[in-house]
Structure 1
Amino acid sequence: MNDFKFWGWDKKPRTMLRFIKPGDIFCVKLNDKKYIFGRIISKIFFGRVAEIFNYVSSTPEIEVEYIDSSKRMFAPIVLDSYTLFDRKFEKEADWRIIGHQNDYIPTDVDDVYFTFGEGAYCKKVDIWDNKTLISESEAKKLPKLAPQCDFDVKQLLKEYIKLE
C-alpha cells in the first residue's frame, strides 16, 4: 500500500537541504502552463539522485495514480538539491517539494551508476554512494557525477517535451 502525503505547491516554497529525503515528491514549474514531477531516490555525497516522471500537467498537482503509472522520462540524474530546493539561486527556477511517499523503496536502480575521476583513479558510484574503481574506458560509458541545476535539467527535457 502506498503511503503518500501531499501538502501542495504553496505550503513550502523552500525546503532546507537536511530535510530533503528519499521518497520526496517534487514539482518543477517549467512555464506558466507546464509543470513536471519527480521523486528523490536517494542521497549521495554530491546531491540527491532523482527520477523525473513522464507526466506533464497544467497545474502543480499530481495524483497518486499518476505517480504509480508514470515511467521515468530518462535515466535517474543527480540534482543540485542545495541550489534547487534550499537556496533557490536561480531566479527563474521554481522547484518545490510537494509531498512524500513514506513507504518508498527504489526500483529499477541496480544498473544506475555515475562516474568521476581520471585515468587510474576513475570510479563509479551507485545510488547508495558506493564507489568502485573502474577503467577509464568503462568510465567513458557512464554519465558524469555532476549535480544538475535547473538549466541542465531543462536541456535534458527539451528532448522529451516542448518547453515553450
Structure 2
Amino acid sequence: MENIIILGWKKKPKTLYRYLKNGDIFAYQIREDLFGFGRILAKNPWGASAEFFDLFSSSTDAIFEKEIKQLETLFIVVLDVYTLFQKKILLPEWRVIARSKNFVNPYENQITSISSTMCISHNPNFQIEQKITQEEAISILRESPYKEEYPHGHSDILILLMWCHKEIFQTPPTGYLGYEQLITDMYPKYFCK
C-alpha cells in the first residue's frame, strides 16, 4: 500500500484551496450509491489538475483496498476546486479522503491540458508551457476532450465519464443527485452511435 494517511469519507478536512495538497486522494458521488476516485496532481492558476482513476464503488473505502500506483488513470483534467471542494455549491459531494505522504507527481513533465483559444499547452502545475497551433489543439481535443484547459465542474466530469465509461450510465437516469436531465440530454450523444 502506498504511504497515505487515511481520513475517510466521514472526516471533513479543511478544503479551502490553500489546504488542498498535491497527492490528496478524493472521492466524489456519481449517483446516490456510486462513487468515483481521483487524486490532486498539482495546483495551478485555474484550480488544480487531477487524475481520475478507473475505480467505481458503492463504498468510499474501496480505494484503500487497492494499490493506488496500480490503478489505471481514465483522464487528467483541470478541476474547479472552488465549487467542488470549497464552496460545495452543488449537491454531489467531493471530499478529500486521504493524503499521500511524499507525493511525487508522475506527470510533472508531461503536457496534460491544452488551450485551443490561446494556442498553448501545459503540464499539471502550468510551469511548463508549450506553443501549439490551433489546428493541432483542435485535433488533439477531438481525440482527448478531457485535455481542454478550463476548470471542470461536476457536470463536466459526468460527461467525460459518459465518454470513457458508458456502462456507469446504462441504468435509467435516477439517483444522479440532480443531474438526471443532463444524463438524459447527453444519452443519445454517447450511446446512440
| TM-score normalised by structure 1 residue count | 0.86
Q: For 2:18, give the aligned amino acid.
A: R
| Conserved 8 A contact 1:27-1:95 | yes
Q: For 1:114, give the aligned amino acid.
A: S
Percentage identity across aligned positions?
Answer: 29
C-alpha distance in structure 2 between counterparts of 1:101 and 1:155, whole Å: 28
Match of 2:120 among 119, 123, 126: 123
Larger CA deviation: 36-45 vs 129-138: 129-138
Give the C-alpha shift of residue 115 in structure 1: 2.2
Q: What are the ranges of 5 or more consecutive residues in structure 1 without an aligned counterpart?
A: none
Which protein has greater RCO, CA pairs closer than 8 Å, 6+ apart?
1
Paired residues, what number? 160
Q: How does 1:2-21 map to 2 (within 5 A)?
A: 2-12=2-12, 15-21=15-21
Q: In structure 1, what is the equivalent of residue 180 of structure 2? A: none
Deviations 1:54-87 (A, max 9, x none): 1111111121534232111x22111101110000
Q: Could you list the runs of 4 or more consecutive aligned residues of structure 1 that deviate by over 4 angstroms after TM superposition?
A: none
* Greater strand fraction, Structure 1 or Structure 2: 1
Per the alignment, do residues 156 and 117 of structure 1 end up closer, same or farther by CA in structure 2, a change over 3 Å counting?
closer
C-alpha distance in structure 1 between counterparts of 2:67 and 2:36, whole Å: 12
SS of 1:35's equivalent? strand
Q: How does 1:67-106 map to 2 (within 5 A)?
A: 67-72=68-73, 74-91=74-91, 93-106=92-105
Q: In structure 2, what is the equivalent of residue 152 of structure 1? A: 156
Larger CA deviation: 74-83 vs 127-136: 127-136
Q: In structure 1, what is the equivalent of residue 137 of structure 2? A: 139
Per the alignment, do residues 20 and 64 of structure 1 end up closer, same or farther by CA in structure 2, a change over 3 Å counting?
farther
Per the alignment, do residues 64 and 112 of structure 1 end up closer, same or farther by CA in structure 2, a change over 3 Å counting?
farther
2:160 equivalent to 1:162: no
* Greater helix fraction, Structure 1 or Structure 2: 2
| Conserved 8 A contact 2:84-2:154 | yes
C-alpha distance in structure 2 between counterparts of 1:49 and 1:102, whole Å: 18
Q: CA RMSD in A?
A: 2.1
Q: How does 1:24-39 map to 2 (within 5 A)?
A: 24-39=24-39
Q: What are the ranges of 5 or more consecutive residues in structure 2 without an aligned counterpart?
A: 142-146, 172-193
Q: In structure 1, what is the equivalent of residue 55 of structure 2? A: 55
Deviations 1:29-74 (A, max 9, x none): 12222111110011111111111111111111121534232111x2
| TM-score normalised by structure 2 residue count | 0.74
Give the C-alpha shift of residue 96 in structure 1: 0.3
Q: For 1:70, give the aligned amino acid.
A: L
SS of 1:107's equivalent? coil
